[in-house]
Amino acid sequence: MAGTSIVSEFTKGFGRENPTFVQVLGMCPTLAVTTSVANGLGMGLATLFVLFFSVLITVIIKKIVPDGVRMAVYTVVIATFVTIADMFLRAYVPPISKALGPYVPLIVVNCIILGRIEAFATRNTAGRSLVDALGMGAGFTASLIILGAIREILGSGKLLGFQLLGSGFHPLLVMVLPAGAFLTLGLLMAIFNAVKDRDSFVVVEGR
Amino acid sequence: MSLLLIAIAAVVVNNFVLTYFVGICPFIGVSKKIDAALSMGIAVTFVMTLTSIVTWVITDVILNKLNMPYLEYVAYIVVIASLVQLVEMFIKKTSPSLYKALGIYLPLITTNCAVLFVALLQAMRNYNLVQATVFGFSAGVGFTLAIVIMAGIREQLEMADVPRPFRGAAITLVTASILALAFMGFSGLIAA
């Protein structure tokens, strides 16, 4: 990764290494909370916060953490920041906190975070790792917003609470139900593949 | 709520994978072959049941008594990680054949969000110890059910000619969507 520029370190989270559509990581929150744009944004930003600060702590302590217990140490670091994020949401944006419910604590086991720490932060310089964390977090947030927007528009005819489609539109209830979540993500992933296909075809393997 | 209702709700009505979306990673990753899926399901059920019991004890006996509920998440994840480690050592010692069958799936369970979800939900719903045990076990059975059905479908899918962009995770998600639609049929079974 030494040859890549800082800018591409950031933008790869949106395109070729997008955590949702390309790496297929962090599926649980992706599917569960994207019934609306607001929820998707809330979850995305909470994950971004946890990812950034966990990586920050990681790059500080990585030299003194023994190899055998590094997973346990990093997981506790992540859990601490998730607790902070959860308390913050509960105190300042109660409606979002309520809508996200038990999915906020689930950020602890979001494979994107441990994945970035393990695969990137422990092997790269501090600056690069932080830019990578920001890019991945932002790319994840963008994916959640896209999913949330599609499901909210088709499922209720609204976007961020505003009536978008006319009264003649019959809301597709299935879109806000679990089946709609799987379907939307599956189709988006296929579109993502098809677009990538024009350059070079890579099969997205499930994790 | 009676124990039977808790069990039915956790297995089919509010299936962990298909309505709560937890445990999606193994659901997509380890659902290519039925026997591997079944092994994964059994291992997860085992860990979930134990997790539910142990986290109940920790929440009720330690955290709540000491007035430290804010340590909940940290405590749960440490419990799960150590439990998985313990289970791994135990199985390795007592049944090498089972250990071989579960192999790499055991450590993966630590990052299976379904296990953490069990701990969180049983605490949130204020279950007693018996209810928590039944809930943990049933949630595991529900997970096993979903992943085995999925593996069965995917074994057939191997022979189908899937359009190129859909190959891999995409077609699995679309399949899961249809499966979730089928499980919605259970939603009227009990009012939960």
Going from the first residue of chain B to its last (192 residues), give the mean pLDDT of each consecutive group of 10, the final group possibly shorter. Answer: 80 82 79 82 87 88 80 84 82 79 69 82 85 90 90 85 79 86 78 54
Q: Burial letters for A96-113: b for 16+ Cβ neighbours within 10 Å, e otherwise?
A: bbebbebbbbbbbbbbbb
Cβ atoms of A38 and B31 within 8 Å: the answer is no
A and B: number of Cβ contacts within 8 A: 141
Q: What is the chain B residue with the closest CA to A78?
A: B74
Q: How confident is the model at residue A53 (pLDDT cuts 50, 70, 90)?
A: very high
> For position B58, what pLDDT does the model report?
87
> For position A207, what pLDDT does the model report?
42
Residues 6+ positions from B183 with CB-CB distance below 8 Å: B12, B15, B18, B19
Inter-chain contact A111–B111, Cβ cutoff 8 Å? Answer: yes
The answer on pLDDT for A73 being more than 80 is yes
Give the Cα separation of B22 and B109 in Å (integer). Answer: 12
> For position B183, what pLDDT does the model report?
83
Give the Cα separation of A8 and A6 in Å (integer). Answer: 6
> For position B103, what pLDDT does the model report?
63
Of the two residues A123 and A16, the one the predictor is more confident about is A123
Q: How confident is the model at residue A147 (pLDDT cuts 50, 70, 90)?
A: confident
> For position A166, what pLDDT does the model report?
64
* Mutation target among B77, B113, B172 for the A interface, most CBs of A within 10 A: B113
Cβ atoms of A137 and A52 within 8 Å: the answer is yes
User: Residue B177: its chain A contacts at CB < 8 A?
Assistant: 179-183, 186
Of the two residues A198 and A138, the one the predictor is more confident about is A138
> For position A1, what pLDDT does the model report?
44
Six-digit token string for A23: 């790496």
Of the two residues A60 and B103, the one the predictor is more confident about is A60
Give the Cα separation of A70 and B127 in Å (integer). Answer: 34
Does the residue A202 lie in any domain?
Answer: no
- Average pLDDT over every residue of A29-47: 85
HEC per residue, B28-86 = HHCCCCHHHHHHHHHHHHHHHHHHHHHHHHHHHHHHCCCCCHHHHHHHHHHHHHHHHHH
Does the residue A122 lie in any domain?
Answer: yes
Does the residue A206 lie in any domain?
Answer: no
Inter-chain contact A204–B170, Cβ cutoff 8 Å? Answer: yes
- Average pLDDT over every residue of A177-186: 84
> If you count them, how many residues does chain A have?
207
Does the residue A164 lie in any domain?
Answer: yes
User: Residue A179: its chain B contacts at CB < 8 A?
Assistant: 177-178, 180-181, 184
User: Residue A76: its chain B contacts at CB < 8 A?
Assistant: 74, 77-78
Q: What are phi and psi of B182, to 5 degrees?
A: -65, -40
Q: Which helix (H) or strand (E) holds A163?
A: strand A162-163
User: Residue B19: its chain A contacts at CB < 8 A?
Assistant: 178
Cβ atoms of A39 and A100 within 8 Å: the answer is yes
Name the average pLDDT for chain A. Answer: 80
Q: How confident is the model at residue A206 (pLDDT cuts 50, 70, 90)?
A: very low
Number of domains in chain A: 1
User: Residue B25: its chain A contacts at CB < 8 A?
Assistant: 25, 27-28, 111, 207
Cβ atoms of B100 and B81 within 8 Å: the answer is no
pLDDT > 90 in chain A, percent: 8
Q: Is the dihedral of CA B93, B95, B97, B103 positive or negative?
A: negative
Q: How confident is the model at residue A167 (pLDDT cuts 50, 70, 90)?
A: low
Range of the domain at A31: 6-197
pLDDT digits (tens, 9 = 90+) for A90-146: 899 888 888 888 888 888 887 788 888 878 887 888 888 888 888 888 888 988 898
> For position A49, what pLDDT does the model report?
92
Query: What ipTM did this prediction achieve?
Result: 0.78
Give the Cα separation of A108 and B95 in Å (integer). Answer: 31
Inter-chain contact A32–B22, Cβ cutoff 8 Å? Answer: yes
Chain B: nearest CA to A135, how far in angstroms?
22
Place of tokens 């124990």: B3
> What phi-psi label fits residue A102: left (phi over 0), alpha (psi between -120 and 50 degrees) or beta?
alpha
Give the Cα separation of A42 and A25 in Å (integer). Answer: 18
Give the Cα separation of B13 and A178 in Å (integer). Answer: 12
If we measure between CA atoms, which residue out of A106, A112, A109 comes closest to residue A24? A112
Q: Give A162's DSSP letter.
A: E
